[in-house]
Amino acid sequence: MFSNFRKMIKPVLLAFGTNEMIIIIVVVLLLFGGRKIPELMRGLGKGVREFNDAKNNVKKEIEDSANDISSSSSDKK
Protein backbone atom coordinates (compact mmCIF):
# COMPACT_ATOMS: atom_id res chain seq x y z
CA MET A 1 0.00 0.00 0.00
CA PHE A 2 2.69 2.49 1.01
CA SER A 3 5.00 1.55 -1.85
CA ASN A 4 2.35 2.71 -4.33
CA PHE A 5 1.94 5.95 -2.40
CA ARG A 6 5.69 6.59 -2.49
CA LYS A 7 5.78 5.95 -6.22
CA MET A 8 3.03 8.52 -6.72
CA ILE A 9 4.69 11.16 -4.50
CA LYS A 10 8.21 11.04 -5.97
CA PRO A 11 7.27 12.50 -9.39
CA VAL A 12 5.32 15.29 -7.69
CA LEU A 13 8.29 16.27 -5.54
CA LEU A 14 10.63 16.18 -8.51
CA ALA A 15 8.26 18.33 -10.56
CA PHE A 16 9.40 21.48 -8.74
CA GLY A 17 12.42 23.08 -10.33
CA THR A 18 14.79 25.67 -8.97
CA ASN A 19 12.71 28.59 -10.21
CA GLU A 20 9.56 27.28 -8.58
CA MET A 21 11.34 26.68 -5.29
CA ILE A 22 12.76 30.22 -5.30
CA ILE A 23 9.31 31.67 -5.97
CA ILE A 24 7.81 29.61 -3.13
CA ILE A 25 10.55 30.76 -0.72
CA VAL A 26 10.03 34.41 -1.69
CA VAL A 27 6.26 34.12 -1.20
CA VAL A 28 6.75 32.53 2.22
CA LEU A 29 9.15 35.31 3.20
CA LEU A 30 6.68 37.95 2.05
CA LEU A 31 3.77 36.35 3.88
CA PHE A 32 5.44 35.58 7.19
CA GLY A 33 8.51 37.78 7.34
CA GLY A 34 11.99 36.82 8.40
CA ARG A 35 11.23 36.93 12.12
CA LYS A 36 8.28 34.54 12.05
CA ILE A 37 9.88 31.77 9.97
CA PRO A 38 12.16 30.36 12.74
CA GLU A 39 9.16 30.26 15.07
CA LEU A 40 7.12 28.44 12.44
CA MET A 41 9.92 25.95 11.84
CA ARG A 42 10.26 25.27 15.58
CA GLY A 43 6.54 24.58 15.77
CA LEU A 44 6.75 22.33 12.73
CA GLY A 45 9.71 20.47 14.25
CA LYS A 46 7.84 19.92 17.51
CA GLY A 47 4.83 18.63 15.61
CA VAL A 48 6.92 16.20 13.58
CA ARG A 49 8.73 15.03 16.72
CA GLU A 50 5.42 14.43 18.56
CA PHE A 51 4.06 12.55 15.55
CA ASN A 52 7.13 10.31 15.41
CA ASP A 53 6.96 9.67 19.16
CA ALA A 54 3.29 8.69 18.89
CA LYS A 55 4.04 6.47 15.89
CA ASN A 56 6.85 4.73 17.77
CA ASN A 57 4.64 4.25 20.85
CA VAL A 58 1.88 2.64 18.79
CA LYS A 59 4.39 0.41 17.03
CA LYS A 60 5.88 -0.65 20.39
CA GLU A 61 2.43 -1.41 21.82
CA ILE A 62 1.54 -3.55 18.81
CA GLU A 63 4.83 -5.45 19.03
CA ASP A 64 4.40 -5.95 22.79
CA SER A 65 0.87 -7.28 22.39
CA ALA A 66 2.02 -9.60 19.58
CA ASN A 67 4.82 -10.88 21.82
CA ASP A 68 2.35 -11.39 24.69
CA ILE A 69 0.01 -13.35 22.43
CA SER A 70 2.82 -15.53 21.05
CA SER A 71 4.26 -16.18 24.51
CA SER A 72 0.85 -17.07 25.96
CA SER A 73 0.14 -19.47 23.07
CA SER A 74 3.52 -21.19 23.54
CA ASP A 75 2.85 -21.49 27.31
CA LYS A 76 -0.37 -23.43 26.64
CA LYS A 77 1.44 -26.07 24.56
Judge whether residue 50 has pLDDT over 60: yes
Q: Which run of H or of E encompasses 13?
A: helix 2-14
pLDDT band per the 50, 70, 90 thresholds, residue 57: very high
- Ramachandran angles phi, psi of 16, nearest 5°: -85, 125
pLDDT digits (tens, 9 = 90+) for 5-42: 556 555 655 677 888 888 988 898 888 888 888 888 89
pLDDT above 70 coverage of the chain, percent: 75
Q: How far apart are CA 37 and CA 4, in angstroms?
A: 33
Tell me the whole-structure pTM to 2 decimals: 0.53
In the chain, the amino acid numbered 75 is D
Phi-psi bin for 33: left (phi > 0), alpha (psi -120 to 50), beta? left
Q: Where are the domains of the chain?
A: 2-76
**Cβ atoms of residues 29 and 37 within 8 Å:** yes
